[in-house]
Amino acid sequence: MNLEEKIRLYFKEAEVYRSQSLLDEALDKYRMVEKLIQENRKIQNKKPLLERVAARIAEMEKRCKKENKPAKPPPVSDEAQSLMKEMFSFDDPQTKGSASLGGAIALAQFGQYDKAIEEFNRLLECSELRFEAAKHLLQCWISQRYSDYAISLFQKWKKTKFLPLDQLEALRNQLQGMLKKEGIERDLSDIEVKKTVEPDSEVEDEDILDINSIRFDLPQGPDKGRRVELEVGFQSGKFIKMIIPREEKSLIQSIKPGDLLKQIVFYSPVAIFSGTGFVSSKKEISSGPKRGDYSLEIKIISISS
Amino acid sequence: MAVINLKNRQIECKIVYYGPGRSGKTTNLEYVHRAFKKQVAGRMISINTDGDRTLFFDFLPLGLGRIKGCDVKVQLYTVPGQVKYASTRQLVLKGVDGIVFVADSLTVRREKNMRSLKEMHENLKRMGLDIRKIPLVLQFNKRDLGKKGLPVMSVEKMTYDLNRQLKVPFFPASAISGQGVGGTLTQVLKMTLQYLQQEFKWA
Ligand SMILES: Nc1nc2c(ncn2[C@@H]2O[C@H](COP(=O)(O)OP(=O)(O)OP(=O)(O)O)[C@@H](O)[C@H]2O)c(=O)[nH]1
Ligand SMILES: [Mg+2]
């Protein structure tokens, strides 16, 4: 085989690998072609040839880089999520409702955390599944890098004796293990008598604009999904305070300290942005003209755009 | 884990297409979807793909009609082949009744074939399944590329690499044109139903 033929053959090979997204293989071959062209003196008019090959190499390198990034599962449609849930729910005849548990675990394994969390929250109601659901729920939050929030949930369960004591103890061990895997060492003993855990905020006080009002959808309760808008009455950096009028019964009921609001829209005089907030307190106002209304405090945890 | 209901005389089983990335698993299902219209019992669902790479799985339901007095339904799945989706492969493999291992005939993919088969072996073991017992068929895909002058391995070499111990049926194929796809599927179905018949004595 003469040199020209060899180059042509290798190039063709590389092109096929490229078309099949066999990126490493294509890259190897393009590099071989490049080397052959460079090293050989007989070839005339090398420049356009080399340019063409170099462009391909650059393209392959770019695609490889994208491919090798650690994969975060993309969100999928509601329909696909229900399908995943259905397909991977294996019934364990020993436990009632275990099929739904399996489905929710599958969703979490596929990285569909929001949907999985919704399912686990529902399963918490079922006492036989409560422990398993609670465990996976904590894991879902930790996997999304909301470890503090997971701890605050556990603290809430512990304070309210949401599970029998032996199960709470087992759950504490599990949680400790999950945190350790993420490189987090936390002492969780007697957490129920400690100050309420608040998730750390990713944002600096000075990065937060003045906020006039906020909007979010009710995360739970009888009016789940209802859109709510509240005016901000007081702001100190990432802490904002709002008044909820006493007539807003369903709003007052559905929001509790310790809740995480994952989609809040913040309105400032100069920009609109969205983010996550932690309900740090909700108190009934006991004196003054606003007596009977509620004061709600939210800590801004992160800002997305 | 087939669902077998002898009272209603219904059988539902799960076939998984396994293999290294880009070997042609999705292409197999796409061809089955096009060519076996009569047996296709619903939409083919490809859950989130990135370009043409599978990120979660593909799914295609088939209905084979009555076999030995039983209504037989089959679910075909593909796994995502890229190395980084190892845990998804385990999940999709859960409850499998029969497997098609799609190997890539391109010489440059030799290692990848062997590594993927080994991984599958381990995954089955972890699930308490024996690779020598579960219905399994090999497919040597992309044979057409040899004719186009690309370096591909001979069937003999691939048999040596992948099948010298397993000794299961194998099919040279070109999923893109459909050649060998039907034969592969028919064989794995035959073996799977036979296996279930023995296990559950439904006929
Ligand atoms: N020439 C040729 N190309 C094929 C054949 N089968 C598949 N391809 C091509 O190979 C590439 C990968 O095919 P897919 O079916 O997406 O492979 P896959 O195994 O599903 O890949 P992953 O989802 O990443 O695991 C595509 O570009 C296909 O067109 C074949 O028989 N011959
Ligand atoms: Mg695929």
Predicted-complex ipTM score = 0.90
- Which residues neighbour ligand 2 (ion) by CB within 5 Å? B 25-26, 54
Q: In the predicted model, what is the mean pLDDT of residues A256-280?
A: 87
Measured between alpha carbons, how far is B163 from B160 in angstroms, rounded to an integer?
6
How many angstroms separate the alpha carbon of residue B26 from the centre of ligand 1?
Answer: 7
Closest ligand to Cα B46: 2
Average pLDDT, chain B: 92
What is the least distance, in Å, from the CA of A80 to any CA of chain B? 7
Of A57 and B84, the one with more pLDDT: A57
pLDDT digits (tens, 9 = 90+) for B160-170: 999 999 999 99
Quick one: pLDDT at residue B48? 65
pLDDT digits (tens, 9 = 90+) for A120-179: 888 888 888 899 999 999 999 998 888 888 998 898 898 888 999 999 999 999 999 999
Measured between alpha carbons, how far is A75 from A211 in angstroms, rounded to an integer?
30
The atom of ligand 1 lying closest to the CA of B78 is 20
Angle between the N-to-C axes of helices A113-123 and A78-87, in degrees from 0 to 180, rounded to the nearest 10: 60
> Is residue B107 scored above 90 in pLDDT?
yes
- Look up tokens 């060899």; give the residue: A6
**Which tokens go with A1?**
């085989």
Q: What CATH number should be reported for the domain whose range is A78-193?
A: 1.25.40
Query: Which residues in chain B touch residue A87, judged by CB atoms under 8 angstroms apart?
Result: 59
The answer to whether A105 touches A140, Cβ cutoff 8 Å, is no
Q: Which of B47, B53, B88 minimises the CB distance to A76?
A: B47
What is the least distance, in Å, from the CA of B132 to any CA of chain A? 25
Average pLDDT, chain A: 86
Q: Which of A16, A70, A88 minimises the CB distance to B150?
A: A16
- Look up tokens 């989609």; give the residue: A263
Of A181-190, A258-267, B95-104, give the range with the top mean pLDDT: B95-104
Quick one: pLDDT at residue B140? 98
Specify whether domain B3-177 bears CATH 3.40.50.300: yes
Pick the CATH number of A205-303 from 2.40.10.220, 3.50.50.100, 2.10.109.10, 2.40.110.10: 2.40.10.220
> Is residue B73 scored above 90 in pLDDT?
yes
Number of Cα atoms under 13 Å in the Cβ half of residue B129:
20
- Cross-chain residue pair A110–B85, CB shorter than 8 Å: no
**What percent of the residues of chain A are helix, what percent strand, and what percent coil, each to the nearest 5?**
50, 15, 35
Boundaries of every domain in chain A: 3-68, 78-193, 205-303
- Cross-chain residue pair A88–B59, CB shorter than 8 Å: no
Quick one: pLDDT at residue A240? 92
- Look up tokens 């807003």; give the residue: A248
Quick one: pLDDT at residue B202? 65
Backbone φ and ψ for B105, nearest 5 degrees, come out as -75, -15
Measured between alpha carbons, how far is A43 from B103 in angstroms, rounded to an integer?
39
Measured between alpha carbons, how far is A151 from A142 in angstroms, rounded to an integer?
9
pLDDT digits (tens, 9 = 90+) for A69-119: 766 667 777 777 877 777 776 555 555 566 678 888 888 888 888 888 888
